[in-house]
Structure 1
């Protein structure tokens, strides 16, 4: 699990809490139910109005996986693909059918099963690229929904402030209460800005980032398995796949180092299983 999102959001709200205390204000003065209900309730409502119920539910279902942020180490994936290449080279492509049955990743399972079934390489590439594109569209829908909420929230906060200030103007005959009422009026704007920049936009960006990482993994798996189908040598395959990995991620993983040390030597006894991201 990558806790970056949780840590970041907690630190952001912690900074606000620290500022409030340093200014000598009270946190309770910001936790007013009325403006919070307006900002969060209306933001979700207009977000739903601009989308579909199915896409809204899909967006919220995407949040847990995005927050967990599980993603396979690229070099682990490379070494696992190399192991598959060694197995295919020593036992034949039909041996990959067993790996397909053991794989927990639907994308890898689809590719391995089609390779074992003798599907043409070009047809398989088109099929896998369509799977990657479908993943991209699905994740983009979820990411866009939360970014849209981030766009609505500040404006809705201003709406709340205008409504509250209207109430203030109705009570000008009570000057002793004006300061408190004006301060409370701006709480709606505050929560609009906080929810947009501390919650909705970061969640949307997080979903997009995790989606990019998963698509990179899927592309790596696709190129590796297509090369295996074409009979690529394991050592040549490793170098080719390493060239697809960003330099800062060329580090030692569980399956072996970036230099390829510690990988299997083609004995055919290993049973590699490609990891799936959440």
Structure 2
């Protein structure tokens, strides 16, 4: 897994609690159950209200991916496709059917099976492009849900503060308690801003970025398998696919043993 999200959130909350400690305040002063309940539960509830139940369930199921999702390694995909190109040139396109059966990636497996079945290049491109578009729409739904929560949270926090201040005004006859009550009232606003910028927006951004990387990988595979179908020369294919990947993301490929096909052929 990529630790960026977990590490970033730990540092952010660590900075927050460090600031509270340096200011001489107590962490307990901002962890009041009532405002936290309203902001966290209320934000999720209004987010669900502004969506559909299926979209909500899909977003919740996508949540673990924000913390455990692994960015794809384009270098490995490139080497795997190059190995397939070499195999197809030596053994023919029908040999890709066996490679498809050994491939764990459903997108690549479907593409290889269609090549082995003799699907026309234009039809195959249309099929793969449709799969990419569906992936984009599905991932966008989950990322947008959490980004939307980031927009709702500050307003819900303000609502909580207004509710608490109303209670404060009801107790003006107790001046000795006003300071504590006013401070508690603003905890809701704090958690509205805090949850938006420390939780919801980072999660939405993370899911969106992982989706972009996965879509890039699918596009890379699309161009690669179509080139394999057209009989592209493996070395030139590697150069072409490598040129499609930013330099800082090109590391991580394995030029030997990068796929089951390549390892078997080498043997």
Q: Shorter-chain TM-score: which interval?
A: over 0.9
Instruction: Please say if residues 78 and 253 of structure 2, whose CA atoms lie closer than 8 Å, have aligned partners that are also in contact.
Output: no
The alignment of Structure 1 onto Structure 2 pairs a total of residues equal to: 263
1:255 matches 2:248: no
- Partners of 1:104 and 1:142 in 2: how far apart? 24
Shift in Å, 1:69: 2.5
Question: Superposition pairs for residues 143-162 of structure 1, below 5 Å?
Answer: 143-162=143-162
1:101 matches 2:89: no
1:191 matches 2:191: yes
Instruction: Please say if residues 59 and 142 of structure 1, whose CA atoms lie closer than 8 Å, have aligned partners that are also in contact.
Output: yes
Question: Superposition pairs for residues 230-241 of structure 1, below 5 Å?
Answer: 230-241=230-241
In structure 1, stretches of 5+ residues that fail to align are: 257-261, 273-278
Structure 1 segments of 4+ aligned residues over 4 angstroms from their partners: none
Instruction: Please say if residues 83 and 262 of structure 2, whose CA atoms lie closer than 8 Å, have aligned partners that are also in contact.
Output: no
- Report the equivalent of 2:124: 124
CA displacement, residues 20-49 of structure 1 (integer Å, 9 cap, x when unaligned)? 000000001111000011001110110010
The alignment's TM-score, normalised by the length of structure 1, stands at 0.92
Shift in Å, 1:270: 3.2
Q: Classify 1:254/1:243 alpha carbon distance in 2 versus 1 (closer, same or farther; 3 Å).
A: closer
CA displacement, residues 57-110 of structure 1 (integer Å, 9 cap, x when unaligned)? 101111212322213311111111100111111111111101111111110111
Q: Classify 1:234/1:198 alpha carbon distance in 2 versus 1 (closer, same or farther; 3 Å).
A: same
1:16 matches 2:9: no
- Report the equivalent of 1:6: 6
- Report the equivalent of 2:75: 75
- Partners of 2:110 and 2:150 in 1: how far apart? 37
- Partners of 2:262 and 2:210 in 1: how far apart? 33
Provide the secondary structure at the position in 1 that maps to 2:72. Answer: coil
- Partners of 2:62 and 2:146 in 1: how far apart? 11
Instruction: Please say if residues 143 and 203 of structure 1, whose CA atoms lie closer than 8 Å, have aligned partners that are also in contact.
Output: yes
The alignment's TM-score, normalised by the length of structure 2, stands at 0.95
- Partners of 2:195 and 2:181 in 1: how far apart? 22
Instruction: Please say if residues 77 and 253 of structure 2, whose CA atoms lie closer than 8 Å, have aligned partners that are also in contact.
Output: no
Question: Greater helix share, 1 or 2?
Answer: 2
- Partners of 1:167 and 1:133 in 2: how far apart? 51
Pick from 244, 252, 263 the counterpart of residue 270 of structure 1: 263
Shift in Å, 1:250: 2.9
RMSD of aligned alpha carbons: 1.5
Instruction: Please say if residues 242 and 250 of structure 1, whose CA atoms lie closer than 8 Å, have aligned partners that are also in contact.
Output: yes
CA displacement, residues 161-195 of structure 1 (integer Å, 9 cap, x when unaligned)? 00100100110000000000000000000000010
